[in-house]
Structure 1
Amino acid sequence: MGKQRGAGSAAVLETPETAYASGYTSASEPAWRGQEPAPAGALQRGYAGDSSQPNGYGTEEEEYRPRRGALRPSLRTMLRSTAGRIALGVVLLVLVGGLVLAAAAVRFYLLHDPHFLVASSDDIQITGNTHMTRAQLLDVFGGDLERNVFRISLTDRQADLERLPWVSHASVMRLLPNRLAVQITERTPVAFSRQGTQIGLVDASGVLLDMGANTASDAHYSFPVLTGILPNDPAPTRAARMAVYQKFMQELDSNGQHLTKSVSEVDVTEPDDLKAMLATGGPEILVHFGDDQFLSRYSQFQKLLPEWKQQYPKLASADMRYQGQIVLEMHKDGDNVGPPAPTSLAAEAAAEATKPLAPAPLAKLPAAKPIPKAKIVPAKAAKAAKKKSGKPVAKKVAGKPKKVVGRPAVAHKASHK
């Protein structure tokens, strides 16, 4: 029994050695037959060793090498080498030089080809002008005729046009091959402007405008005559006075009754005391409105006017600025009290402007009469006079006008008999 176990043990030990020497790991799976290790990848590809070869595998078997992508040149690899950088620089120089030469050729063609010449004034198209004539606007482009359209500065011509008093805004564009398009936006006048014996127009910002024959004959202008806007005044001063004037006109027309039709002249020399000449069906009356409450003061004046006209046939002015007090002033003896002036000077200005050989562009009118200043009477004196006679009596009081609160009282200067 012990010998058998020993023989069995020997048999068991011999079996792996024989199998290892013969190249088999088990009865069903062959082992590599070569005496040297199998080449890389041989086992993965399923090749078996060849016992006839000294190394145990065939000579046809190639050594395994991993696959690599083909080497391709790139911008990064070229920049890493000096030669690559030089080549790229040469290519860029050639491209830039070609572009510069092409641009120079195009520029030379555009600036020298006769197709782009502004041959005559017919090549300048002007729209939007109503008060200014085409000839007046073409004077700005006098030096551009027979000139290349690309050599004309559009910004300079726009600035030249906007320096003209009537032009509020201008735009200038090129129309290829050789034309200019000019769009004009003119200023809108809001009043006639009196400058001494001259009558012109003024817009909402206080820009004074000449009034030629075309403008004077425009029948739809029925503005009041505005005084107090002087050409030597700074632009902000004129704009502030025009703001007071526009507020006055807007308030009077705010109820839809067009009360401004009765206003023939407005004085804004003192912006805190706007004065207006109002048509009353007889001699015009000067009314002091101050700088606010224009509509309520106008309504109060119209309400009291019938009574005043009966009592004071020579009424010259009424100061409505002060609460509880209205100051009336009479015409002096010898004053020429005639019919009211027309509310629109368009017809008269047109007749003057269309006279032959008129040297001035503005219509000439007779000089305006000086506007009388109202005397302010304190309410105390007015009340005392009223208790005595029952009627308002004139009284001069030295000193500055005061705002008085109390019952409405009317004071006036006695008319000369």
Structure 2
Amino acid sequence: MAKTESYAGRTSAAVEEARPDEFYRPAPTPRPRPGRFPVQPEDDAEDEPFLRTRRRVPVRKGILPGWAGTRWGMIGLAAGAIVLLAGIVALIFAVRNFLDHDPRFRIDSSASIQTAGNSQLSRADLLSVFGSDIGRNIFFVPLGTRQKELEEIPWVERATVMRLLPDQLRVAVTERTPVAFVRLGNKIDLVDASGVVLEMPPTMVAARHYSFPVVTGIDPNDPLSTRSARMHLYQKFITDVDSSGEKVSEQLSEVDLSDPEDVRAAVPAKGMDLLLHFGEEDFLNRWHNYQSHIAEWEQQYPHLASIDLRYEREVVLKMAGSSDVDPNMAAPPAPAPAPAAPAAKAAAKTAAPKAAAGKKHPAHAAKRVVRHHAARGKR
């Protein structure tokens, strides 16, 4: 009995000592069952690529069929290209011949020419350019040449000519806008901002009710650049004197632009034109200086003919008969009695020329010239 217990004790101890070794032995793997089709794991089945039988895809080596590479094939292709080209050329000539000779494209009368944009010019003035095109095919009318001929008319600033199929022409013009009258000898015409002289019958001028000063110093024989520069000076002068809203330009009878450094204007005063020298800048302030002193000057110098406002702190007054007075702008009146004694003394004191505190200008004639010192607050 004692042996049995001791044996059992040793056996249990050996089993307990052998138990930890079971964790280091590999787990038994199940043996696969034999079958007709082997079973694959799901993961392997998903990862295996889908296999499909491949088909051969034919690859074309060119756009031409195989026979085109042969000798006769190349000859046939060349002949076909020549025939196609000849057909296209023949079609073009047929269409052109149709357009050139079909009577539906002929300008039968002036009624087929539309005009637009003309207010100063009559329709007849514009149609005179297209006199040779009546009865002509619309495609034979040289549009560029007709446009240039229209723009040679003084009143036309820009022109466009276009075809309206089948037999119409459309002419659109932009006319020039007059900004002043211009005196050319004994004739009065109009002039635009670019210095282009615009002729208009007196009856039409009266009907238009234009109210502009008369400009002198614009010669149609001068280059257009010269005339344009002078008219630019004129517009600067008119814009400046009218900037205060007093409409000073309506009080001016003539504006002389012959000297680009001295704008001279004539204003009516006691039955005669008084000539004012404005220079080339500061026109409005010089006009205000004239307005603030004219009553005093006319009272002291009844034969006043010209006032030079170009100097900084003095004004040069010229009496009628002075050689500097422009006969075209301010005609000298009939001889009058000698001025009063105070005026004569003032003229004697200022007969010698004095330097002006500003720009240097040509010396004025000393005969009957009075230099009047203007108030500084006005300059």
Shared topology, TM-score over 0.5? yes
| 8 Å CA contact retained: 2:133, 2:141 | yes
Aligned-pair CA distance for 1:162:
0.3
Aligned-pair CA distance for 1:280:
4.0
Aligned twin of 2:319:
330
Q: 1:370 aligns with which of 328, 331, 341?
A: 328
Matched positions, count: 300
Whether 1:151 aligns to 2:140 is: yes
Whether 1:168 aligns to 2:157 is: yes
Whether 1:413 aligns to 2:371 is: no
Whether 1:249 aligns to 2:238 is: yes
| 8 Å CA contact retained: 2:105, 2:137 | yes
Aligned twin of 1:404:
357
Aligned twin of 2:62:
74
Q: 1:305 aligns with which of 280, 289, 294?
A: 294
- Residues 307 and 74 of structure 1: CA distance in aligned 2, closer, same or farther (over 3 Å): same
1:92-171 alignment runs, 5 A limit:
92-171=81-160
Following the alignment from structure 1 to structure 2, what is the Cα–Cα distance between the partners of residues 293 and 321?
9
| 8 Å CA contact retained: 2:347, 2:369 | no
Following the alignment from structure 2 to structure 1, what is the Cα–Cα distance between the partners of residues 108 and 134?
6
| 8 Å CA contact retained: 1:206, 1:242 | yes
| 8 Å CA contact retained: 1:394, 1:413 | no
SS at match of 1:118: coil
- Residues 112 and 255 of structure 1: CA distance in aligned 2, closer, same or farther (over 3 Å): same
Aligned twin of 1:268:
257
Question: In the alignment, residue 205 of structure 1 is paired with which amino acid?
Answer: S
Bigger Cα displacement from structure 2, 223-232 vs 99-108:
99-108
Higher relative contact order (CA 8 A, sep 6+): 1
Aligned-pair CA distance for 1:74:
3.3
Bigger Cα displacement from structure 2, 125-134 vs 153-162:
125-134
Deviations 1:83-115 (A, max 9, x none): 554444333333322222221111111110111
More helix by proportion, 1 or 2? 2
- Residues 101 and 397 of structure 1: CA distance in aligned 2, closer, same or farther (over 3 Å): farther
Question: In the alignment, residue 328 of structure 2 is paired with which amino acid?
Answer: P
| 8 Å CA contact retained: 1:395, 1:412 | no
SS at match of 1:74: coil
Aligned twin of 1:296:
285
Aligned-pair CA distance for 1:253:
1.3
Aligned twin of 1:12:
none
Aligned-pair CA distance for 1:208:
0.9
Following the alignment from structure 2 to structure 1, what is the Cα–Cα distance between the partners of residues 148 and 215?
29
Q: 1:212 aligns with which of 201, 205, 219?
A: 201
| 8 Å CA contact retained: 1:224, 1:264 | yes
Q: TM-score when scaled to structure 2?
A: 0.71
Following the alignment from structure 2 to structure 1, what is the Cα–Cα distance between the partners of residues 356 and 64?
90
Aligned-pair CA distance for 1:76:
6.1
- Residues 153 and 402 of structure 1: CA distance in aligned 2, closer, same or farther (over 3 Å): farther
Following the alignment from structure 1 to structure 2, what is the Cα–Cα distance between the partners of residues 139 and 219?
24
SS at match of 1:147: coil
Aligned-pair CA distance for 1:81:
5.4
- Residues 134 and 369 of structure 1: CA distance in aligned 2, closer, same or farther (over 3 Å): farther
Q: 1:224 aligns with which of 210, 213, 219?
A: 213
Following the alignment from structure 1 to structure 2, what is the Cα–Cα distance between the partners of residues 213 and 104?
55
Question: In the alignment, residue 320 of structure 1 is paired with which amino acid?
Answer: L
Aligned-pair CA distance for 1:66:
8.2
Following the alignment from structure 2 to structure 1, what is the Cα–Cα distance between the partners of residues 91 and 349?
92
- Residues 76 and 192 of structure 1: CA distance in aligned 2, closer, same or farther (over 3 Å): same
- Residues 214 and 84 of structure 1: CA distance in aligned 2, closer, same or farther (over 3 Å): farther
Following the alignment from structure 1 to structure 2, what is the Cα–Cα distance between the partners of residues 299 and 260?
13
- The percentage of aligned residue pairs carrying the same residue is 43
